[in-house]
Amino acid sequence: MHSDGDIRDLADDLIDSGVEVINLQDLVNGIDWIANRFKGKICVELDIDRQRITPYGTPADIDDLIRKEVSTLATPQGGLCMIYGLYPGVPLKNVAALMDAMERYMFYYS
């Protein structure tokens, strides 16, 4: 299931309906909240921030975001996928930082 925006009020209904994979926005819903509601229960396909940090932050901010998301949401058994929608205006250095961070942390539990 894919959903943009704040889905926190729908979380229990989504789990009860049998959703096995959910695509939701990271910072809109909160990384810690996502972990508390979905980690270990269903697969999270995390939509990486494209409104604040990736267009306006520094490469270090982007690395920090990806590291926090992976360390908070991933498990040794899996259950975390990440997706990023690249939109006009994102500096190329930030795109490179995002790709580097995703590669750097993809084997976090290896």
Q: Where are the domains of the chain?
A: 8-105
Give me the numbers of helices (H) and strands (E) for the chain, helices first please: 6, 3
Q: How far apart are CA 58 and CA 83, in angstroms?
A: 19
The string of pLDDT tens digits covering residues 7-20 is 999 888 988 899 89
The string of pLDDT tens digits covering residues 19-63 is 899 999 999 999 999 999 999 889 999 999 999 999 999 999 999
Q: What is the DSSP string of 40-56?
A: TTSEEEEE---SSHHHH
